[in-house]
């Protein structure tokens, strides 16, 4: 029998749980449902010239979900005129053990309007928009043109980021007229190995790095993070 004890603390509208494993170590679980609001997550954009940002049509925030869905989600939208636009959500995760190594895993669900096998400018609107999962010891933000964290580029992992897949959803039309939910989870090889700061905190970001030169609008619905002590 898997004997594990759970300690769950309601923090505003999210839940952080401590799970005691069989070896006595504690795994930390965090769940965020954006139907309840932003829950401390912030939107960010990078890899575009800020002096000419208007043509990128950048938009974000808690919005009503599109036709066919109820409730709200965290919307990120932008027109990728730089052929490299990065749109992401970020949050400082606290309550972990200070200066400690962890394996971090992610499960995220979002609404996408990008079908499979569609043709787009510069790249496919689905398969050429790559989902990244990353961490940082400083707040991730645009510094000059690029992100101030080693996130990699499009389909390539970075020193502090893993590519988990893309936003293509089978069965969707290629005219972006419909949305469908997609669930993505990190595999063992795509989990992050990270070290918390002296206060037991770390920044986490989730976002898309696009090679499709058109407009992409996503609605993030849920994010679940798990932190397991690493040797």
For residue range 161-175, list pLDDT tens digits in order.
999 999 999 999 999
- pLDDT of 21: 56
Q: Has residue 64 got a pLDDT over 70?
A: yes
pLDDT digits (tens, 9 = 90+) for 177-215: 999 999 999 999 999 999 999 999 999 999 999 999 999
Q: Where are the domains of the chain?
A: 34-229
Which residues lie below 8 Å from residue 51, measured CB to CB, with a gap of 6+?
none
Which residues lie below 8 Å from residue 23, measured CB to CB, with a gap of 6+?
none
Model pTM greater than 0.75?
yes
pLDDT band per the 50, 70, 90 thresholds, residue 23: low
Measuring CA to CA, which residue among 83, 68, 91 is closest to residue 216?
A: 83
Its CATH architecture, for the domain 34-229, is Sandwich (2.60)
Average pLDDT, the chain: 91
Q: Has residue 93 got a pLDDT over 70?
A: yes
Strand partners, 70: none
- pLDDT of 92: 98
Q: Has residue 216 got a pLDDT over 70?
A: yes
| Cα–Cα distances in angstroms (integers) from residue 173 to residues 115, 168, 169, 180, in the given order | 6, 11, 9, 11
């Amino acid at each position: 029998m898997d004997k594990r004890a759970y300690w769950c603390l309601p923090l505003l509208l999210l839940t952080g749980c401590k799970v005691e494993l069989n070896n006595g170590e504690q795994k930390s679980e965090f769940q965020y449902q954006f139907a309840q609001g932003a829950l401390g997550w912030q939107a960010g954009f990078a890899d575009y010239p800020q002096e000419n940002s208007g043509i990128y049509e950048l938009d974000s925030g808690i919005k009503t979900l599109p036709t066919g869905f109820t409730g709200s989600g965290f919307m990120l939208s932008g027109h990728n005129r730089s052929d490299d636009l990065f749109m992401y959500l970020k949050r400082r995760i606290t309550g972990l053990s200070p200066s400690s190594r962890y394996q971090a895993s992610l499960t995220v669900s979002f609404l996408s309007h990008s079908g499979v096998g569609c043709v787009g400018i510069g790249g496919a609107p689905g398969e050429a928009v790559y989902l990244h999962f990353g961490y940082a010891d400083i707040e991730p933000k645009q510094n000059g043109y690029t992100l101030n964290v080693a996130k990699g580029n499009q389909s390539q992992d970075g020193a502090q980021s893993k590519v988990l897949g893309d936003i293509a959803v089978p069965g969707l039309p290629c005219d972006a007229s419909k949305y469908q939910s997609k669930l993505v989870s990190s595999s063992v090889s795509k989990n992050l190995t990270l070290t918390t700061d002296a206060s037991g905190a770390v920044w986490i970001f989730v976002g898309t790095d696009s090679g499709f030169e058109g407009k992409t609008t996503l609605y993030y619905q849920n994010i679940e993070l798990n932190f397991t002590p690493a040797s």
